[in-house]
Amino acid sequence: MFSLVLLLASSANISTSSPCTFLVEVYMTEKYDGTLRKSGKTYDKKLRRSTGKRLAVCKKIEKLVHRGQALGWYTNNPLLPLVVAWRETGFTEKTISDAGAKGPLQVMTHYWCPKHRRCNLIRAGLDALQAYHKRQPTLCKVLAAYNGGSCAKTSNSYAYAQRIIQVLQRLEARQYNILVIKKQVAQLQKNVDRVSKALARLKARNIARQKALAKFLQLLKGRRVEYAQNLR
């Protein structure tokens, strides 16, 4: 019974447990190196006020990733661009780096944006990740190349790549657990429906038995009255 209550409590949070919710919360509570934020109350309030905007940017990226998968121009891990955007900007759209990288995924526009056309910075970031996936054999090298460095352990890009991989693994494990809970809830619902139907059948059977018993009692009463009259 206790496990059933826990399962129902877990399932109640499934609808709000999106990858974006998780990543924005990680941004709010952890620094990029994995240590916890130790900021004052004023900064915490200011940071928390940006939650809605960060979620909106993350969901915009997520939507374009799904579109890219449906149309076939993005074929890699759909969670990876979200984690990259978390690491690059914390899901802000107007950030420009010292090197000139722009957008939530921090792309170099002169490399990844089409010339003489308006550039979708999120699409440009996805195109860059897709291209590096084709060129590089490992995820570490993909991310290091995206960061403009190498996957050598002495490189700053190595720490960048490893942190993204670490958070990506946490996110994947979380999404898997949510999927397991959804399946358990679906099975639980089937069992509940089956029990409900069985109870409904028992209820209908009991009602029929009560009606039959009432008729039988009525018949006994009638015969008792008839027997009493005969005795007189």
Q: Is the pTM of this model over 0.85?
A: no
Can you give the pLDDT at residue 2?
44
Q: What is the pLDDT of residue 116?
A: 79
| Domains of the chain listed by start with CATH number | 16-180 (1.10.530)
pLDDT one digit per residue (tens) for the chain, 232 residues = 445 544 454 554 554 578 999 999 999 999 888 888 877 777 778 888 999 999 999 999 999 999 999 999 999 999 999 999 999 999 999 999 999 999 999 999 999 998 878 999 999 999 999 999 999 999 999 999 999 999 999 999 999 999 999 999 999 999 999 888 888 888 888 998 899 999 999 999 999 899 888 888 888 887 776 776 666 6
Q: Are 150 and 158 in contact (CB under 8 A)?
A: yes
